[in-house]
A = this chain, B = another copy of it.
Amino acid sequence: MLELDAFERNMQRMAFAVRGAGVRLRPHAKSHKCPEIALRQVAAGAVGICCQKTSEAEAMVDGGIRDVFVSNEVVGAAKLARLARLAQRARVSVCVDDAANAAELERSARAAGVELHVLVEINVGADRCGVEPGAASLALARAVAGAGHLRFAGLHAYHGAAQHLRKVSDRRAAIALATRKARATKALLESNGIPVETVTGAGTGTFLFEAASEVYNEIQPGSYVFMDADYGANDWSGFPDFEQSLFVLATVMSVPTADRAVVDAGLKASSVDSGLPQVVGRRGVEYVAASDEHGVLRIARGGDAPRLGEKVRLVPGHCDPTVNLHDWIVAVRGGKVEALWRVAARGAGY
């Protein structure tokens, strides 16, 4: 369930923050997987969107998005052929962190008769994908720039691990380090005659720092439209006041004892990878255990105990994988359903 007023205020807050900083906004669609939301983000000034998978990008282009950056490596001939075919009907960019993958990308682009925009992913601290900044990045950028159907478009310098550091000062420090690495790599490439058009990264937890860096010129936050309990545990001093707009609406299906109630939303309704969901607006009621189809609420003495059949609003622990469990987002305003938005890229994991 999406509270539209809060969702729209979140979009306005991000647009306002980005306008001041002079960077481009390319929100991440992995959070919502919903073309209706992506179209609204573009209408509010985003230059395009990010996706994580080829199939996710296809769903977004099918939904009317014309500029998609797969902020991830795509490996294997079948997926690359699909990615290249997608570039016949949209502007498609993608990451590489390996020369053999860049060569495979070139073959796919040539076979489809398209040009792919390619960003070299550098490891700026997350220790996941990405070549190391410096010489390795230069060699890979040269390989991309020299390929006939690839256009070297810049650097992907995303620090995912920094987003949920609780203290603002820790997030700022992590991005300061990432920025140094991105700046040095950009300078190295440009001193070798390879212009670096775009340096992109950032998530909801850190985007102010990348936006102020004067190195990053594009940011890709995703969760800000929804928020979740894990982000709710961050310190947000100095950040826009993003509101919780996404909820799981559960029904109380059993009240076996005075101190226990059970809701019908378990871990197949709200992903628990980053913690349990939180109960909204009920004093002394806590979601303490999730099984597949059940959530156990503990009711404190004198707590605002829900009755059998009552609805309980839950804040998901982690918004992205929670949305990926559902086929529809129920968009609500003032207590009434205003629209059903299809999660068109739900399950698009390849």
Contacts and interface: CB of A to CB of B under 8 A. Distances in A.
A132 B75 CA distance: 55
Contacts of A265: 349
Interface stretch (A35-43, A112-120, A169-177, A290-298): A290-298
A81 B14 CA distance: 44
Contact of A97 (B98, B256, B267): B256
B273 A290 contact: yes
Contacts of A291: 128, 160
A9 interface: no
23 contacts: A30-B292, A52-B293, A75-B251, A75-B253, A75-B254, A75-B308, A75-B309, A97-B254, A123-B256, A127-B296, A128-B256, A129-B256, A129-B294, A130-B254, A131-B256, A132-B256, A264-B350, A267-B321, A268-B320, A268-B321, A273-B290, A293-B349, A346-B347
A26 B327 CA distance: 29
A127 B262 CA distance: 10
Closest 7 pairs between A and B when the two form their complex, measured CB to CB = A129-B254, A52-B293, A75-B253, A73-B253, A267-B273, A272-B273, A269-B349
Interface of A: 30, 52-53, 72-76, 97-98, 100-101, 123, 127-132, 160, 251-256, 260, 262, 264-265, 267-269, 271-273, 290-294, 296, 308-309, 320-321, 324-327, 346-347, 349-350
Given A53-B293, A130-B256, A256-B131, A308 B72 contact: no
B327 A347 contact: yes
Given A73-B253, A256-B123, A321 B308 contact: no
Chain A binding site: helix, strand, loop or mixed by DSSP?
Answer: loop
A131 B296 CA distance: 15
A327 B344 CA distance: 13
Given A52-B292, A52-B293, A129-B294, A76 B327 contact: no
Contacts of A123: 256
Contacts of A262: 128-129
Contacts of A30: 292-293
Nearest to A261: B129
Given A253-B73, A254-B129, A291-B160, A308 B100 contact: yes
Given A130-B254, A268-B349, 13 more contacts: A53-B264, A53-B293, A72-B293, A75-B308, A101-B308, A128-B296, A129-B254, A160-B291, A265-B349, A273-B290, A293-B349, A326-B347, A346-B347
